Amino acid sequence: MRLAKSYFADERKDDLNEIGQGRSRVDLPGHVTGKTTYFADRNFPGMLHLKMVRSPHHHARIRSIDTSEAEKHPGVVRVLTAKDVPHNTYTILILIQIGPEDEHVLAEEKVRWKGEAVVAVLAETERAAQEAAAKVKVDYEVLPAVLDMEAALKPGAPLVNEHHGQNYYMYDSGACRKVRFGDVEKGFAEADHILEQTYSSSPIEQAPMETTGCIAVPEGNDRFTCYTNTQAMFFTLDNTSIILQMPGSQLHLVGGTAGGGFGGKVDVIVEPIAILAAKLTGRPVSFIYSRHEEMQISSPRAAETITIKDGVMNDGRIVARYVTGYTDAGAYSRHSPYGAQKGAAHYPGPYTIPNVWADTYCVYTNRTPSSAMRGFGVTIADFALEVQMDKLARLIGMDPLEFRFINAYRDGDMKAHRQTTEGAALIECMQEASRAANWPVAEKYYALSSHPREG
Amino acid sequence: MAKVPVQFSLNGSEKAEFVDSGATLLAVLRGKAGDTSPKGGCHQGTCGACSVIIDGELRLSCLTLAETCDGAEITTTAGLAEAGVLHPLQRAFMDGFAAQCGFCTPGMLMAAKALLDRTPNPTREDVVEAISGNVCRCTGYEPIIQAILAAARANSHNAA
């Protein structure tokens, strides 16, 4: 490994012990010997298996649920519906006051996406649970569904989620998250060229090798141990405490090793119902997504539609940027209001643009709820704005890397969301990348630095 | 459900189990024989995480019925190290950072072992072909390929 020490030489401290060293990961011996313990590498006597009955419709009213045949199926121990869940309506980010509670552990009255959990079946074997789940009869009245954001926002569109009252998330700032900086209209009036482009992305599944799941074990003293592959231990602990109306002191969550997550294990989905099942049956309960559930049921990265309008000068300066971003939350909020909010602050990218206007909306549709995945809220934004940067450079006949040097932010620059830039290293990274990729730029760009601008 | 008696050798130890007719070898290894090194990533034969070696052949334990393994010799990643000494493949995977989340690793090691047992000096193409049934979602394929080639070199060096 080579460390480029010429950059920020006056700020360097070279008493680093680990950086620059090749260190073996502490978990590698366990991985190569098969000794690493994943949550499912445990067997408990009397363990029950939980299988979920899921909505076959995108949007439907539940007229009735008949579990009588399923309950008679050999090996079935218990069947759970919404009325068994102490606090059935929840939302993950209520912990940080991002409400309203808008989702049900088990569906009540309506289902709002194809795959929504309706009834949980507990049986002695996985097979018995699966067979019994197929015997649960749910009578649905199918309702019109909205499957894309444009349709969801049209006047008269079917309402996806009554807890919101409209098909978008209402922020304290209104229907969208807003960034207002400078005067974009003045910027566009001054610009030599204006380029407006729309970028769209599809939902993306995280697809970890190990599917989402947990095993909940009653400890016989009103306490429950839950072995889980969650990526969000404290979200899980606190939301489970709310959903089960049970003090956190009765819940012992054991995690630590996940067979891949990529954000797909950040939501709180399997643990509350598994712990409830363990409480109601007095037996260990395993709830593990099938591969099909992992791909179809677990929240993907949100689909996004982003329109970027830029004003650019012939000398390469971007003088105005106007962005409208839409994030498809699916039927429930989960982490998407937060993801859409991150986008609002991020749209100028690592560039200093004097006039910025950004509106980002979190939209509800009858699709699989989306949530966290690797930089959600900014990853698709980065794709859109970097493609836009290349297009802008081409428009004015400039090298795309030199174009980025001209617009790169530097320490002391005020960002559009009113944070002063600190610790910038974009220019230095681009200088190094230019050399590594053998993509030379004019000599003056090698003389730039991220230090504050003169005057 | 009818139980079927099955005897097999697991990493050199004799095992005798009564298994459900139709139970997979993966379920029996993990749930009865106490070997959780094979992983269940898809339970439909597409990811390779459950790979084991049965009578010298690489097999998907999630698609193998336990009752067909009577008299078989089964090797899993739990049996790779001998007397606490890591197999060259395990050493190479550690040295080459060829595991991230680790969930595909036991299956990868089995696929690699089946290859090297048959082809001690594989080409890169041989390695790619050998692990083509094993998915690594962390997408660490290149370090895995390099580790398998390094283990092969270490083996031939020791043999020379």
- 3-class SS of residue B53: strand
List the Cα angle A404/A409/A411 in 5-degree steps.
150
Looking at CATH, the fold of the domain delimited by A48-143+207-296 is given as Aldehyde Oxidoreductase; domain 3 (3.90.1170)
Pairs across A and B, CB distance < 8 A: 95
Q: What is the pLDDT of residue B2?
A: 85
| Residue A250 C-alpha, separation from nearest chain B C-alpha, in angstroms | 28
Query: Any idea which architecture B88-159 has in CATH?
Result: Orthogonal Bundle (1.10)
List the Cα angle B72/B116/A259 in 5-degree steps.
75
A211–B86 C-beta distance less than 8 A:
no
Over residues B140-157, the pLDDT tens digits come to: 999 999 999 999 999 887
Over residues A66-107, the pLDDT tens digits come to: 999 999 999 999 999 999 999 999 999 999 999 999 999 999
Distance of CA B31 to the CA centre of its chain: 17
Q: What is the pLDDT of residue A10?
A: 82
B138–A260 C-beta distance less than 8 A:
yes
The percent helix, strand, coil of chain B (3-state, each to 5) is 40, 20, 40
First CA to last CA across chain B, in angstroms? 54
Chain B positions with Cβ closer than 8 Å to A: 30-31, 35-44, 46-47, 49, 76-78, 80-81, 86, 89-90, 93-95, 97, 99-106, 109, 135-138
Q: Structural domain boundaries of chain B?
A: 3-79, 88-159
Q: Which CATH number fits the domain B3-79, given the four candidates 2.70.98.10, 3.10.20.30, 1.10.3720.10, 3.40.50.620? A: 3.10.20.30
Q: What is the pLDDT of residue A201?
A: 97
Sheet holding A110-111: strands in order across? A110-111, A60-66, A137-142
| Residue B39 C-alpha, separation from nearest chain A C-alpha, in angstroms | 8
Residue B160 has pLDDT above 60, yes or no: no
Angstrom distance (rounded) from CA A330 to CA A153: 13
Closest-CA residue of chain B to A293:
B42
Over residues B24-68, the pLDDT tens digits come to: 999 999 999 999 999 999 999 999 999 999 999 999 999 999 999
Q: Structural domain boundaries of chain A?
A: 48-143+207-296, 177-204+300-425
Q: What is the pLDDT of residue B157?
A: 77
Looking at CATH, the fold of the domain delimited by A177-204+300-425 is given as Aldehyde Oxidoreductase; domain 4 (3.30.365)
Q: Which residues of B touch A41 (CB under 8 A)?
A: 30, 36
Q: Which residues of B touch A29 (CB under 8 A)?
A: 94
φ and ψ at residue A210, rounded to 5 degrees: -95, 125
Q: What is the pLDDT of residue A261?
A: 96
With a pLDDT cut of 70, the percent of chain A lying above it is 99
Q: What is the pLDDT of residue B159?
A: 66
Band of pLDDT at residue B1, cut at 50, 70 and 90: low
Q: Which residues of B touch A38 (CB under 8 A)?
A: 36, 39, 103
Angstrom distance (rounded) from CA A408 to CA A380: 20
In one-letter notation, the amino acid at residue B155 is N
Nearest CB among A27, A32, A211 relative to B109 is that of: A32
Mean pLDDT of B68-92: 97
Give the pTM.
0.95
| Residue A332 C-alpha, separation from nearest chain B C-alpha, in angstroms | 27
Over residues A164-193, the pLDDT tens digits come to: 999 999 999 999 999 999 999 999 999 999
With a pLDDT cut of 70, the percent of chain B lying above it is 98
Packed helices B141-159 and B105-118: angle between N→C axes, nearest 10 degrees:
40
* Structure tokens given for A239: 């939301």
- Residues (pLDDT < 50) of chain A are none
Q: Which residues of B touch A25 (CB under 8 A)?
A: 97
